[in-house]
Amino acid sequence: MGSNAAPEESSQRLRVAIIGAGIGGLTLSAALGALSKNDLEIDIYESAACISEIGAGITLWPRVWEIMNAIDLGQPLLQFLQRPPDDTARIVFQIRKGDEKEGFFIHDVVMQGGSTTFHRADLQQALVSRMSGQLHLGHRFTSLEERNDEVVVHFQNGTTATCDLLIGMDGIKSAVRKSLLSKQGLTNSPSMEPVWSGTIAYRGLVSRDVLDKVFPGHRTITTPMMYVGKGRHVVAYAISRSLINVAAFVTYAEKEGTVYEDTCSSAEEIQEEMVSLYTKWEPEVQVLIRTLKQPLKWPINQVIPMERYVSGRVVIAGDAAHGMPPHQGSGASTAIEDAYILASLLSSDSCTKDTVLKVSEIYNNIRCVEGNRALDMAIDMGKFLDLAFPGLENVREGDENVDRSILDAVGYEISRKWEWVWKDSAEVDKARALDLLKSE
């Protein structure tokens, strides 16, 4: 692990290794830089040769914006926003029934503080600018050995490193998760590999100018939208002054847990497939599909909930611990919360080489419950948006005589399931974690 400190000084420093330089890993690095008064030795290991832009839109909810301010990232992020966050109540999504020729309004999801949306590359840029520690690119994690007082980490390029605490934030296909489960003797755990949810996502960006020209006054130019229908739904919202993020989901419930097999490759084929899937939908949905630039297609996978995120000096966080469907927009936000709790613990005066095992257990006790709860709610939200709801079992795509009172109930449940992202605060968990660390 790289350090310019003298040998005797370096031996006293708590050595933290972060595997993965995605949103979660970069947030942890930035948070440690902002919060820590301890002399930490931080190394971030990324398998890729460079930190590249992956994905398009990303949403941060009020409780996560609170974290961004706490770790000095709120101000740098304001430059990317059309409107700075505040405490006013506003619509975060308008829900319409869209799977018929003339769709109709169902419900407004309103939150105090609303939501904050970014192009993922902009958030990534801000995190990289505040990164602390040393970044090692081209280091793909392969295995680990935990000794009495340290962890030895092995990489595909033949190098090794040692640390006092290893934090795996290496995504939903996490190699660190596999090592952690193997270390616990759980080689047959259903959480070893992510499983297919049965849902396919088609994603891309639409130019606001193009959309306004083709469909003047399109709803998504001013309002974040969720168009729902039986077995599929479309989410669209602005991520900048010029771009709208569009994600179309199609669910094959009977295929949940099976192996996904793709037969569609080129962008043209993907767009043709999307158009064919939404022919029964209202015109404003169809125009979104037709104006997508270079759409991508991929299966929505998820991690089977785990009983523990920790084994000794090895910790997992973010998608490595609770990879979830994107239906609540809480995957990145939950990873950021994991990073915040870990950074707060590691930055405490009570955190030393002698207490690092206690730190990992406290993190597990607090974040395992919260991470699994977010995972379960994301799954439930996907079902609601696909109208998999009591009383709608016999409804088919395009049905026009659906009981409006049941659709009202769907809207209410969606709002209720989302309350935690603005009514609760991660500061409560942070305070509890620090109290536990200082106790005994």
Residue 249 lies in a domain: no
Residue 433 lies in a domain: yes
Q: Which of 2, 338, 326, 51 is nearest to 169 (CA)?
A: 338
Residue 261 lies in a domain: no
Residues facing 91 on adjacent strands: 110
CATH (domain of 42)? 3.50.50.60
Q: Which of 117, 81, 97, 65 is nearest to 414 (CA)?
A: 97
| Tokens read off for 398 | 């395009």
| Tokens read off for 366 | 């607090």
The span from the CA of 334 to the CA of 317, in Å, is 9
Residues facing 251 on adjacent strands: 199
Strand 151-155 relative to strand 141-146, pairing: antiparallel
Residue 252 lies in a domain: no
Is residue 334 a contact partner of residue 420, using CB atoms and an 8 Å limit? Answer: no
Residue 98 lies in a domain: no
**Domain housing 39:** 7-86+117-193+303-386+424-438
Helix (H, G, I), strand (E, B) or coil at 438: helix
Tally of residues, the chain = 440
Strand 40-45 relative to strand 14-19, pairing: parallel
How many distinct structural domains can be found in the chain? Answer: 1
Residue 157 lies in a domain: yes
Which pairs from 348-351 meet CB under 8 Å and 24+ separation? 348/38, 348/434, 348/437, 348/438, 349/37, 349/38, 350/434, 350/437, 350/438, 351/14, 351/38, 351/437
328-384 per-position pLDDT tens digit: 999 999 999 999 999 999 999 999 999 999 999 999 999 999 999 999 999 999 999
The DSSP 8-state label assigned to residue 306 in this structure reads P
157-197 per-position pLDDT tens digit: 999 999 999 999 999 999 999 999 999 999 999 999 999 99
What pLDDT is attached to residue 318? 97
The span from the CA of 168 to the CA of 155, in Å, is 13
Residue 133 lies in a domain: yes
Q: How many angstroms separate the first and last alpha carbons of the chain?
A: 32
Is residue 201 a contact partner of residue 300, using CB atoms and an 8 Å limit? Answer: yes
What pLDDT is attached to residue 6? 46
Counting as low any pLDDT under 70, the low residues of the chain are 1-11, 53-56, 264, 440
pTM score: 0.92
Q: Which of 59, 47, 56 is nearest to 20 (CA)?
A: 47
What pLDDT is attached to residue 440? 62
- Looking at 261-318, list the stretches that DSSP marks H as alpha helix, in order from N- to C-terminal side: 267-277, 283-290
Which pairs from 192-196 meet CB under 8 Å and 24+ separation? 194/301, 194/302, 194/303, 194/323, 195/256, 195/257, 195/301, 195/302, 195/303, 195/304, 196/255, 196/256, 196/257, 196/258, 196/259, 196/260, 196/299, 196/300, 196/301
Residue 92 lies in a domain: no
Is residue 373 a contact partner of residue 306, using CB atoms and an 8 Å limit? Answer: no
